Chain A
Amino acid sequence: KNQVEQSPQSLIILEGKNCTLQCNYTVSPFSNLRWYKQDTGRGPVSLTIMTFSENTKSNGRYTATLDADTKQSSLHITASQLSDSASYICVVSYGGNNRLAFGKGNQVVVIP
């Protein structure tokens, strides 16, 4: 069983609309949680990184939340643009030595 589960697996949304992606994790001890955006065939690019004490962080139209008690995180995309079409990967750092556990990603397709 994957230690980081993301839902929905894929999502199609209209340009200009909002969407929310979910991430549940089981790894411990928790260090931080990151959301990355990965365009097809490219390396992931960091959007946000949150530690245990942070419960929300924004990066432009991207807002991430973290509930470390329930081990859940979400990524909210506001006013989506065509360029938001990508895979969004939830990554949890654990174990104190920068070990990363990756989700499989939420595949988002924005259509005009």
Chain B
Amino acid sequence: ETGVTQSPTHLIKTRGQQVTLRCSSQSGHNTVSWYQQALGQGPQFIFQYYREEENGRGNFPPRFSGLQFPNYSSELNVNALELDDSALYLCASSQSVRGDGEAFFGQGTRLTVV
């Protein structure tokens, strides 16, 4: 166990709906990153939060948004869901925003858009 918890584990949504995914980071970790992993592909970086502020964003449209709370837990929100949003969504927490921090992943949320 990595100490990083994601909820829910599975989710089915209809195209056009909105979804919120949650991540509880490991104790003492102030940085959370979110990734989208399509089947058979490596994870793709969505964005990173450090101390409640967005600290970098990948090539994802604005309908992907996030939040980080004072306890460093985080949410990923996706509006106007599209079929291609179906993927495993991973969050990773780390103790440092610098590149030397070990990143611990949650078990992921499997989102299916129908």
Interface residue ranges, A against B (CB under 8 Å): 2, 4, 31-32, 34, 36, 41-46, 49, 51, 89, 93-100, 102-105
Bin chain B's interface residue count.
20 to 34
Q: Are A104 and B98 closer than 8 Å at their CB atoms? A: no
Q: Are B33 and A100 closer than 8 Å at their CB atoms? A: yes
Those of B21-42 within 8 Å (CB) of chain A:
31, 33, 35, 40-42
A34, B41: Cα distance in complex, Å: 17
Interchain nearest-CB distance for B42 vs A (Å): 4
Q: Are A103 and B42 closer than 8 Å at their CB atoms? A: yes
Contact residues in B for A41 (Cβ distance below 8 Å): 88, 108, 110
Nearest-neighbor residue (CB-CB) of A29 within chain B: B99
A contacts with B: majority SS: strand
A31, B102: Cα distance in complex, Å: 11
A-B contact pairs, 12 of them (CB 8 A): A45-B105, A96-B99, A97-B48, A97-B97, A97-B98, A97-B99, A98-B96, A100-B45, A102-B35, A103-B42, A104-B40, A104-B42
Asked whether B8 is an interface residue with its Cβ less than 8 Å from the other chain, the reply is no
Nearest-neighbor residue (CB-CB) of B107 within chain A: A43
Contact residues in A for B107 (Cβ distance below 8 Å): 42-43
Nearest-neighbor residue (CB-CB) of B99 within chain A: A31
Interface residue ranges, B against A (CB under 8 Å): 2, 4, 6, 31, 33, 35, 40-45, 48, 55-56, 88, 90, 92, 94, 96-108, 110
Q: Are A43 and B106 closer than 8 Å at their CB atoms? A: yes
Sorted from nearest, which 5 A-B pairs have the closest CB atoms?
A31-B99, A102-B42, A43-B105, A93-B99, A104-B42
A75, B102: Cα distance in complex, Å: 18
Q: Are A98 and B48 closer than 8 Å at their CB atoms? A: yes
Contact residues in B for A94 (Cβ distance below 8 Å): 99
Q: Are B90 and A44 closer than 8 Å at their CB atoms? A: yes
A103, B44: Cα distance in complex, Å: 10
Contact residues in B for A45 (Cβ distance below 8 Å): 2, 105
Nearest-neighbor residue (CB-CB) of B91 within chain A: A43
Q: Are B108 and A32 closer than 8 Å at their CB atoms? A: no
